[in-house]
């Protein structure tokens, strides 16, 4: 009896809900909106996954005694960056603009009210992972000698202030803002300038304030090799960055539209061409096909296509990527020669190739090349440098003068894992690095006395 | 009692171990080492910077045997480890004062 009445009420409930579901069919516009949400958030997840890529590349390219520190820096620049961008950065970048220079609303996600339009959350999520990408570029260039606390402070400043202010100039109108640079017709679809060159120039500032790793340069100023401890990790990291970049570039439509097809194709072609370009360059210079440079080539191609991914042909994408691959190799060797120690090539991949991508958007513009557009692109690239580099340099100098930016010599030699974190990345393994080879820290102590000078020969009277 | 330390190419370990076991040697100790004799190292490349690698990976197999087993063991090791190419390694032979089996406290030949 109870069973029958239960089944009856279940059936009644069923008919009511089924009728409710069919009460209003979603309109075509609704479906498009939902598709926009889905694609934007899937893409945001892909871009988030790039954090894993950065972490693996950086860990792989540096020594095992610093692996915990690299992981912590990557974990924290994302976490602090997310919070900094939530609290301050998003508002500065996308808030109602003051003259096209800076946003003034939307702090602490104030644009969102529970029950209100959640698009701001999707958009914020997508933009937050972009901000975090710019922030994490720097950790590789500053690896193996940066104080953890100094890096935490920098992470907040870059995510809350440096990145968003320039970002607003180029992308503000994507939400409530309107930047002066975009009003001039500046093209940077997914961020060669906004994200990558900003990260690259902040990295340059950091490496200059820090100085090179101990022993990186010999007495004659020639660079010594400090081989990374796990190149397979680095390779895996690049593959992860590559897949994440499909979200980075194609997701920048923030809409489920057909354009994402050519963006995917352009992205992939540029990456592959970047690998080949870098391989050709390094193979001809050193007579050996080097893995680490080829990996940098993939990233160079990806950075190069990031600005023009939505306004160039696939054939152009190949050219853009190939040139980026050659550029990154020459740039890495150049920075090494001028004693700028960048363990992962971040300045070359993101700064130099970021500029290349920015200019390529005009050079290869599918709507035709104009000198005017090239001028605007160059202006944007210059503005990114002139804003980011001094701001980051100042930040690092202030950190250096207050809580300190660089670890002590002894700590650097023993490894940051022990010094900064009291932990070992591989406690079950002996982690012994004899790199760099040669005089690393000039001796300040002399050996006194000489063994054997006063020793009597065997058999003599004592 | 004689201690024999054989420094050989890493991929030769299996053959050397089998040769010693066939002779009746019951215990050995393995270390992973790096070294060079007259074998020159090699140059490696990392991101355009060359660096010299002088210390070449080898394995060091240590055995302790009775006096009369020493020469047969050395010959067996040499035969197994030989490739004829530079870097085959070296065998060091020295006499040992004593040995102790930890579990039982036996000393001398009983400990081997």
Query: Could you tell me which chain B residue has the CA closest to the CA of A330?
Result: B48
Gap between the Cα atoms of B48 and B63, Å rounded: 43
From B49's Cα to the closest Cα of chain A, the distance in A is 5
From A377's Cα to the closest Cα of chain B, the distance in A is 31
Per the CB < 8 Å rule, is A292 touching B51?
no
Q: Does B52 touch chain A (CB under 8 A)?
A: yes
β-partners of residue B44 are B51
Q: How many CB pairs under 8 A join A and B?
A: 41
From B32's Cα to the closest Cα of chain A, the distance in A is 12
Please give the helix or strand (H or E) that residue A103 lies within, else none: strand A102-103
Gap between the Cα atoms of B100 and B112, Å rounded: 8
Query: From start to end of chain B, where are the E strands?
Result: 2-8, 29-35, 42-46, 49-53, 56-65, 89-95
From B59's Cα to the closest Cα of chain A, the distance in A is 16
- The number of residues making up chain A comes to 462
Predicted confidence at residue A23, as pLDDT, reads 57
Per the CB < 8 Å rule, is B48 touching A292?
no
Q: Which of B60, B78, B59 is nearest to B20 (CA)?
A: B78
Predicted confidence at residue A12, as pLDDT, reads 66
Identify all chain B residues contacting A333, using CB atoms and an 8 Å cutoff: 47-48
* Tens-place pLDDT, residues A269-321: 999 999 999 999 999 999 999 999 999 999 999 999 999 999 999 999 999 99
ipTM of predicted complex: 0.84
Q: Does pLDDT of B74 surpass 60?
A: yes
Predicted confidence at residue B72, as pLDDT, reads 97
Helices of type H across B1-112: 13-23, 67-81
Residue with tokens 């004899």: A434
Gap between the Cα atoms of B12 and A462, Å rounded: 49
Q: Which of A304, A297, A267, A303 is nearest to A281 (CA)?
A: A297
Identify all chain A residues contacting B52, using CB atoms and an 8 Å cutoff: 437
3-state secondary structure of B35: strand
Q: Does B86 touch chain A (CB under 8 A)?
A: no
Residue A143 tokens read as 């690896």
Listing DSSP states for A211-257 in one string gives -PPTTSB-TT-PBPP---S-HHHHHHHHHHHHHHHHHHHHGGG-S--
Q: Which residues contact A313 (CB under 8 A, 6 or more apart)?
A: A364, A366
* Tens-place pLDDT, residues A39-90: 999 999 999 999 999 999 999 999 999 999 999 999 999 999 999 999 999 9
Strands A97-98 and A102-103: antiparallel
End-to-end CA distance of chain B: 9
Identify all chain A residues contacting B50, using CB atoms and an 8 Å cutoff: 225
Gap between the Cα atoms of A103 and A176, Å rounded: 8
Q: Does B42 touch chain A (CB under 8 A)?
A: no
Gap between the Cα atoms of B27 and A338, Å rounded: 56
When the candidates are 1.10.1380.10, 3.30.70.120, 3.30.365.10, 3.40.640.10, the CATH number that belongs to B2-111 is 3.30.70.120
Q: Which residues contact A6 (CB under 8 A, 6 or more apart)?
A: none
Which among A224, A228, A288 has the least Cβ separation from residue B49? A224
- pLDDT by residue for chain A (462 residues), tens only, comes to 677 777 776 666 655 555 555 557 889 999 999 999 999 999 999 999 999 999 999 999 999 999 999 999 999 999 999 999 999 999 999 999 999 999 999 999 999 999 999 999 999 999 999 999 999 999 999 999 999 999 999 999 999 999 999 999 999 999 999 999 999 999 999 999 999 999 999 999 999 999 999 999 999 999 999 999 999 999 999 999 999 999 999 999 999 999 999 999 999 999 999 999 999 999 999 999 999 999 999 999 999 999 999 999 999 999 999 999 999 999 999 999 999 999 999 999 999 999 999 999 999 999 999 999 999 999 999 999 999 999 999 999 999 999 999 999 999 999 999 999 999 999 999 888 889 988 888 888 888 888 886 655 555 444
- A:166-185 residues touching chain B, CB 8 A cutoff: none
- What are the C-alpha distances in Å from A28 to residues A34, A38, A358? 10, 15, 36
Q: Does A332 touch chain B (CB under 8 A)?
A: yes
Residue B41 tokens read as 């190292």
Residue with tokens 């890493």: B10
Which among A293, A435, A437 has the least Cβ separation from residue B47? A293
Q: Does A226 touch chain B (CB under 8 A)?
A: yes
Residue A165 tokens read as 């202010």
Gap between the Cα atoms of A136 and A130, Å rounded: 10
Gap between the Cα atoms of A142 and A399, Å rounded: 14
Contact at 8 Å (CB) between A70 and A59? yes
Query: Could you tell me which chain A residue has the CA closest to the CA of B44?
Result: A225
Contact at 8 Å (CB) between A131 and A163? yes
Structural domain boundaries in chain A: 34-412
Domain A34-412 class in CATH: mainly alpha
Contact at 8 Å (CB) between A64 and A431? yes
Per the CB < 8 Å rule, is A225 touching B46?
yes
Structural domain boundaries in chain B: 2-111
Predicted confidence at residue A462, as pLDDT, reads 45
């Amino acid at each position: 009896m109870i069973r029958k009445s239960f089944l009856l009420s279940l059936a009644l409930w069923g008919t009511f809900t089924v009728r409710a579901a069919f009460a209003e069919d979603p309109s075509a516009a609704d479906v498009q909106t939902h598709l926009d949400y889905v694609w934007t958030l899937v893409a945001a997840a892909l871009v988030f996954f790039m954090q894993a890529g950065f972490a693996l590349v950086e860990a792989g390219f540096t020594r095992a005694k610093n692996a915990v520190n690299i992981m912590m820096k990557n974990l924290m620049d994302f976490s602090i960056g997310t919070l900094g961008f939530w609290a301050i950065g998003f508002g500065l970048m996308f808030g109602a603009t003051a003259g096209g220079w800076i946003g003034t609303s939307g702090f602490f996600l104030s644009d969102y009210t529970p029950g209100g339009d959640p698009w701001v959350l999707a958009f914020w999520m997508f933009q937050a992972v972009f901000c975090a990408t710019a922030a994490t570029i720097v950790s590789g260039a500053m690896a193996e000698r940066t104080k953890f606390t100094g890096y935490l402070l920098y992470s907040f400043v870059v995510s809350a202030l440096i990145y968003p202010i320039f970002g607003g100039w180029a992308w503000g109108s994507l939400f409530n803002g309107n930047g002066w640079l975009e009003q001039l017709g500046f093209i940077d679809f997914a961020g060669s300038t906004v994200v990558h060159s900003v990260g690259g120039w902040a990295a340059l500032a950091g490496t200059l304030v820090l100085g090179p790793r101990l022993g990186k340069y010999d007495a004659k100023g020639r660079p010594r090799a400090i081989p990374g401890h796990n190149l397979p990790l680095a390779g895996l990291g690049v593959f992860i960055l590559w897949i994440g970049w499909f979200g980075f570039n194609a997701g920048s439509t923030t809409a489920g539209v057909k354009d994402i097809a050519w963006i995917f194709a352009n992205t992939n072609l540029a990456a592959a061409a970047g690998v080949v370009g870098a391989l050709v360059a390094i193979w001809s210079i050193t007579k050996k096909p080097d893995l680490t440079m080829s990996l940098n080539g993939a990233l160079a191609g990806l950075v190069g296509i990031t600005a023009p991914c939505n306004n160039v042909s696939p054939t152009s994408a190949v050219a853009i990527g190939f040139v980026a691959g050659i550029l990154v190799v020459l740039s890495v060797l150049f920075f090494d020669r001028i004693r700028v120690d960048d363990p992962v090539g971040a300045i070359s991949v993101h700064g130099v190739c970021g500029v290349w991508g920015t200019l390529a958007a005009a050079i290869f513009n599918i709507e035709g090349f104009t000198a005017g557009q090239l001028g605007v692109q160059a202006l944007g690239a210059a503005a990114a440098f002139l804003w980011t580099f001094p701001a980051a340099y100042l930040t690092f100098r202030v950190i250096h003068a207050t809580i300190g930016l660089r670890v002590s010599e002894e700590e650097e030699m023993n490894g940051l894992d022990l010094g900064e974190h009291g932990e070992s990345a591989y406690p079950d393994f002996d982690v012994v690095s004899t790199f760099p080879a040669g005089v690393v820290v000039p001796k300040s102590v002399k050996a006194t006395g000489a063994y054997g000078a006063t020793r009597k020969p065997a058999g003599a009277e004592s | 009692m004689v201690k024999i330390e054989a420094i050989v190419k890493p991929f030769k370990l299996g053959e050397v171990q089998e040769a010693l076991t066939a002779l009746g040697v019951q215990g050995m100790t393995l270390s992973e080492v790096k070294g060079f004799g007259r074998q020159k190292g090699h140059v490696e490349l990392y991101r355009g910077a060359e660096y010299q690698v002088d210390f070449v990976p080898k394995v060091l197999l240590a055995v302790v045997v009775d006096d009369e087993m020493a020469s047969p063991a050395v010959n067996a090791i040499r035969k197994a480890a030989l490739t004829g190419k530079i870097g085959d390694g070296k065998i060091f032979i020295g006499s040992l004062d004593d040995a102790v089996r930890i579990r039982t406290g036996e000393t001398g030949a009983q400990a081997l």
